[in-house]
Amino acid sequence: MATLSTLAPAPRPLSAPARRLRPTLWRLCAVTLIWATSLFVLALWVSGAGIQSLLAFDGDTLTTLGRLTGLVSANLLLYQVLLMARVPVFEHGFGRDGVTRLHRLVGFWSFWLLMAHLVLITAGYAVTSHTDVLVQAWDFVWDYPGMLLATAGTALLILVVVTSIRRARRRLRYESWHLLHLYGYLGVGLAIPHMLWTGADFTASAGATMYWWGLWAVTAACVLWFRVAVPLIRSARHGLRVVAVSRDGQDGVSVRVAGRDVHRLRARAGQFFIWRFLDGPGWTRGHPFSLAADPSGSELVISARRVGDGTDRLAELRPGTRVMVEGPYGHMTGERRSGSRLLMLGAGAGVAPLVALLESEPYAPGEAILVTRDHSAGHGLRRAEIDRLVLARGVVHYTLHGRRAASGTSWVPATHAQWDGARLLQRIAGDLSAYDVYLCGPIPWMQSIRRDLRRAGVDASRIHSEAFAV
């Protein structure tokens, strides 16, 4: 059991500019990389007489627009894959939430640009050769190198996009949706070669072809290295195993994991891993769980609410079970702090990373406030650890229980329905300008608090969050 002295972390300097500079530099690198490759494809199009063809106002105009949309779409598809490859520059630069949002945005644009590419190229060729559009489309598929593969790839990409539309996705089990989503990789793999075999920009330039193949080779290597090799190597090196499983609240479970040199995983409070417990069939399905305790010691702790098969299995784990991890990921860490005070708001299992942060971050008694939102007191996770933080570190803990308010989208429960959300935040924390605010919980709940924080005058750069959803 932790004592008062083990809970108090070694003091670390606060507000060091370097703490904020690191994420900014990563972000700058990530954004520069994306822009550099995007400008390269634009340059490729311009150097292939793109602008002249555009101004021809005939079939060539449509064809060259088709080339441009195809190039940009392929470049975005590349980023679709790279963003999910857990490449450090993107993980540190955008954080997992940012990467997920960008993946969705890039997916949307790459898909519609791909559709525009198909229509424009076909129409352009049909106008130039005075052929019917459908005849031209048929010719493309059957007579041009790589086009049959590209057609199959496009069909797979359409499948991925359709099943990712929110309404369709809600009907699918997460595992089914995820499996279908993986077909996107195959779709991309099938769609890309036709560019090199038939695309005017590539057939005319060996340099462009080498650049393109090189870029895709690097992308494939990133996927294999960061998503397969690194997790395997790390898990083998640290020999992680379950050491204890315990109940956490009415419907939660906590798992403690230990291994060799755990500190060398360089995990920080507020981050998460994707966990695989080698306890029998089905172990390949990874689940993301945040660290629920300060990871600087010899153990990693997670705490989960039981909501389905994967989380139910946690409760059945036996000490000694081997563990594989992917990570650490996420940037809701203390590095993002710029003020001295902390306001933490967590709903349900969202409290887990906030407790880890409160255990590891420096602050004076009374300078950290934790607000937890649960169905009832009994449902709360990490209650014993929160009570210890209140006693040992002077954390101020407020609870919000009960059902949601009957109307509106407020994060405030029915018991406090008469309160304006921004006013309630000010009442809880006083002068909000001195605080860094950490949020973790369902997306709509966090969006509602974010709105109220902004209304209460909190700068966006002071609000740090992680969504428990992909």
Distance from C-alpha of 445 to C-alpha of 432, rounded to nearest angstrom: 19
- DSSP state, residue 461: G
Stretches 31-39, 288-296, 388-396, 449-457: which one binds ligand FAD (CB under 6 A)? 288-296
Which of 21, 31, 229, 469 binds ligand FAD (CB under 6 A)? It is: 469
Binding mask 384-423 for ligand FAD (x = CB under 6 A): ----------------------------------------
Contact in structure between 160 and 151 (CB atoms under 8 Å): no
| Phi/psi at 458 (5° precision) | -80, 130
If the CB atoms of residues 287 and 341 are measured against ligand FAD, the closer one turns out to be 287
Q: Is 311 in the site for ligand FAD (CB under 6 A)?
A: yes
If the CB atoms of residues 178 and 263 are measured against ligand FAD, the closer one turns out to be 178
If the CB atoms of residues 170 and 318 are measured against ligand FAD, the closer one turns out to be 170
What helix, strand, coil percent values describe the chain, rounded to 5?
Answer: 60, 15, 25
| Phi/psi at 328 (5° precision) | -75, 150
Q: Is 275 in the site for ligand FAD (CB under 6 A)?
A: no
Q: Is 272 in the site for ligand FAD (CB under 6 A)?
A: yes
Which of 27, 238, 287, 341 binds ligand FAD (CB under 6 A)? It is: 287
Which of 164, 290, 372, 465 binds ligand FAD (CB under 6 A)? It is: 290
Stretches 35-43, 108-116, 282-290, 455-463: which one binds ligand FAD (CB under 6 A)? 282-290
Pick out residues in 316-375 that bind ligand FAD (CB under 6 A).
349, 352
Minimal distance in Å, beta carbon 341 to ligand FAD? Answer: 24
Which of 58, 261, 309, 316 binds ligand FAD (CB under 6 A)? It is: 309
Minimal distance in Å, beta carbon 292 to ligand FAD? Answer: 6
Q: Which amino acid is at 208?
A: A
Distance from C-alpha of 176 to C-alpha of 181, rounded to nearest angstrom: 8
In 3D, which of 141, 136, 163, 140 has the Cα closest to residue 152? 141
Which residues make beta-bridge pairs with 465? 439
Distance from C-alpha of 255 to C-alpha of 302, rounded to nearest angstrom: 5
Q: Looking at beta carbons, which residue is closest to ligand FAD?
A: 308
Sign of CA dihedral 418, 463, 450, 290: negative
Q: Is 307 in the site for ligand FAD (CB under 6 A)?
A: yes
If the CB atoms of residues 61 and 311 are measured against ligand FAD, the closer one turns out to be 311
Q: Which amino acid is at 458?
A: V
Structure tokens at 445: 């709940």
If the CB atoms of residues 91 and 436 are measured against ligand FAD, the closer one turns out to be 91
Minimal distance in Å, beta carbon 67 to ligand FAD? Answer: 38
Distance from C-alpha of 124 to C-alpha of 58, rounded to nearest angstrom: 8
Distance from C-alpha of 76 to C-alpha of 106, rounded to nearest angstrom: 6
- DSSP state, residue 248: E
Distance from C-alpha of 277 to C-alpha of 300, rounded to nearest angstrom: 14
304-309 contacts, C-beta under 8 A, 24 or more apart: 304/248, 304/252, 304/253, 304/254, 304/255, 304/349, 304/352, 305/251, 305/252, 305/348, 305/349, 305/381, 306/251, 306/252, 306/253, 309/282
Which of 93, 310, 421, 441 binds ligand FAD (CB under 6 A)? It is: 310
If the CB atoms of residues 436 and 466 are measured against ligand FAD, the closer one turns out to be 466
Stretches 130-138, 192-200, 301-309, 335-343: which one binds ligand FAD (CB under 6 A)? 301-309
Q: Is 96 in the site for ligand FAD (CB under 6 A)?
A: yes
If the CB atoms of residues 153 and 288 are measured against ligand FAD, the closer one turns out to be 288
Contact in structure between 71 and 91 (CB atoms under 8 Å): no
Q: What string of DSSP letters covers 338-379?
A: -SSEEEEEEEGGGHHHHHHHHHHS---TTSEEEEEEESSGGG
Sign of CA dihedral 68, 216, 23, 273: positive
If the CB atoms of residues 187 and 330 are measured against ligand FAD, the closer one turns out to be 330
Stretches 119-127, 160-168, 180-188, 281-289: which one binds ligand FAD (CB under 6 A)? 281-289
Q: Is 435 in the site for ligand FAD (CB under 6 A)?
A: no
Which of 304, 343, 453, 458 binds ligand FAD (CB under 6 A)? It is: 304
If the CB atoms of residues 438 and 468 are measured against ligand FAD, the closer one turns out to be 468
Q: Is 122 in the site for ligand FAD (CB under 6 A)?
A: no
Footprint on this chain of ligand FAD (rule: CB under 6 A): 96, 174, 272, 286-290, 302-305, 307-311, 349, 352, 466, 468-470
